[in-house]
Amino acid sequence: MFSAFKTLVGRDLLLAMRRRSDLFTTLFFFVIVVSLFPLGIGPELNTLRLIAPGVFWVAALLASMLALERLFAIDYEDGALEQMLLAPQPLFILVLAKVTAHWLVTGLPLVLMAPLLGLQYDMATDALMAMVISLLLGTPALSLIGAIGAALTLGLRGGGVLVSLLVLPLYIPVLIFGSGAVEATASGLGGQGHLSMLGAILVLSLLFAPIASSAALRISAE
């Protein structure tokens, strides 16, 4: 079971390395969206500090959305998904492996890039720390929740738009607690409460999202 998990994560990382364009689109999308705001608003540091948490989190949400489409679609088209469904392994483990690889490729780079981008917003060090921790807890949850939507809309025409409508409302709690954590830290209240909630969301989605996605995949593959 664990070796199947490792194999699938390894395979998807290898595929991502061979197709680096996919890897960088999400990251560059995030970088550009986040960088557009200081350019548009101008060097008004107080305003920038105020909007930074919201901008970062909305950009992370949209970037994660953008990458969702490819999560299962390619496997579905080339038949690898069929073989996953027929593999003598628990399907939720395989789904978890796909999501893990997907997060490592599309989520983790955003987290690592965030402190650098935060400099444009004149964010304080503790706020930057809170941003990184909140993104580290929040983006895996986004990938997990998004996997349900991606599995449900597999093989549908116009699935890309539908998946946004399905998944974005589910992202709202992550957005609220994620940007809340950064705001609370910046205003000196301490973001522990928000971060704990984010952690709870992550644990819940770790438990339920792979099972829900597996069920959705079985239906989509019929």
Partner 1 sequence: MLEVSGLACVRGDRKLFSDLSFSLAGGELLHLHGHNGSGKTTLMRTLCGLIKESEGEIHWNGESIHSLDEDFTRDVVYIGHKNGIKDDLTGVENLRVCTALDGYPITESQAWDALEKMGLRGHEDLPSRVLSQGQKRRVALARLLVNRAKLWILDEPFTALDVAAVDFLQSIIRSHIEAGGMVILTTHQEVKITKEQVKELQLGWKEAGHV
The site for partner 1 (CB under 8 A) is made up of 3-4, 7-8, 11, 14-15, 18-19, 77-80, 82-90, 94, 221-222
- Considering the complex, what minimum distance in angstroms separates the CB of residue 4 from partner 1? 6
Q: How many whole angstroms separate alpha carbon 29 and alpha carbon 51?
A: 19
- Considering the complex, what minimum distance in angstroms separates the CB of residue 102 from partner 1? 15
Q: How many whole angstroms separate alpha carbon 6 and alpha carbon 27?
A: 25
- Considering the complex, what minimum distance in angstroms separates the CB of residue 180 from partner 1? 40
Q: How many whole angstroms separate alpha carbon 196 and alpha carbon 199?
A: 5
Residue 153 identity (one-letter amino acid): T
Tell the burial category of 90 from Cβ atoms under 10 Å away from its Cβ (0-12, 13-18, 19+): middle
Nearer to partner 1, 15 or 104 (CB): 15
Token output for 156 = 């549908």
Among all chains, which residue has been given the structure tokens 């949400």? Answer: 61
Nearer to partner 1, 7 or 120 (CB): 7
Nearer to partner 1, 87 or 162 (CB): 87
- Considering the complex, what minimum distance in angstroms separates the CB of residue 72 from partner 1? 13
- Considering the complex, what minimum distance in angstroms separates the CB of residue 111 from partner 1? 26
Nearer to partner 1, 19 or 161 (CB): 19
Closest-CA residue to 171 (of 207, 146, 134, 198): 146
Nearer to partner 1, 50 or 93 (CB): 93
